[in-house]
Structures are given as C-alpha cells and as structure tokens.
Structure 1
Amino acid sequence: MLVAEEIKENEELRVTIMNMSKTVKKPIPLFVHYGFLGGVSCSAIVSVDNESHLAVGTTCGKCTLFSPRTHLCTSTIHNG
C-alpha cells in the first residue's frame, strides 16, 4: 500500500509542477548581443576600476568586456 501512496504523491507533484510551468512567464534577458565568432564559452560579471562589466569569452579565444548599462563593448581583453 505504501508504494501505491508514493506513486500517487509523485503523480500529484508532477501535475503541480506542470501547472506551475504553464503559469510562469518566459524570462526576459537583460543583455542580448549577437555575433560572437565561434559561440560564447563563458561569461562573468567582473569589476574594473570599481565598475561592473560583463566579460564574455568565446570558443575562438576572444575575451571582451561589455557595459551592463549601455550594452556596448568597452574593451577587448584577449583576441586569441
């Protein structure tokens, strides 16, 4: 009987999660940039001169800093 109860609880949980996923809105990205040669391999928020920047590394070895405020490239750290 315990197994049947666990199966029922699991099914109820699955239905609850499915219903929640229908009501959750798709996230809106804060930063979108196209044209990273080779694709993005990593990203991180870094501090340069006490100002935050988005560092983006590509699979081709390029690392670029972007301003999270303006979304513009502020510098290229490495151009592999």
Structure 2
Amino acid sequence: MAISSEVARGARVESQTDTNAIVVTGSKPNHVLHAIITLFTCGFWGLVWIVLAIMLREHRIALTVDPYGHVLRQELT
C-alpha cells in the first residue's frame, strides 16, 4: 500500500524485496543533450545547464516494513 501510494505520486521503484523498497522521485538532466546545446550556442546554454543540474535531482526514499507491520519511511541522500 505504501509503495503504491508513492508510485501514484510520481515515484518509481528502484529496488524491492519482501520487507524493503527504494523509491525514487525526480530525475537527472540529460547531460549529453545539454552539452550539445551548449556547444551550438557558444557556451550560453551552459548557464541554464548549471541551474538545471543543481535543481533537478533524484530523491530516494527507503520504505521498510517492521515485524509488526508498520511502514518506516527514511529519506536517503
């Protein structure tokens, strides 16, 4: 139930076992595309690329079910 509610919010499951799951939200920028655009714009797009690289990050959450059936949620870095 906890995994399905995270997926409904836009997360994707990175790994899963019987009692643990790692879900990921967000995405990384396409660095190859931004490098090509930066070359074609003589470096001007590099500023946008830097801002996107800082702002767009993946966030991982560990969901663990304890022996009593409670779901523990831990933010990972």
Report the TM range for the smaller structure's normalisation.
0.3 to 0.5
More helix by share: 2
Structure of greater Rg: 1
Where relative contact order (Cα < 8 A, 6+ residues apart) is larger, the structure is 2
TM-score w.r.t. structure 2 length? 0.36
Which structure shows the higher strand fraction? Answer: 1
TM-score (norm 1): 0.35
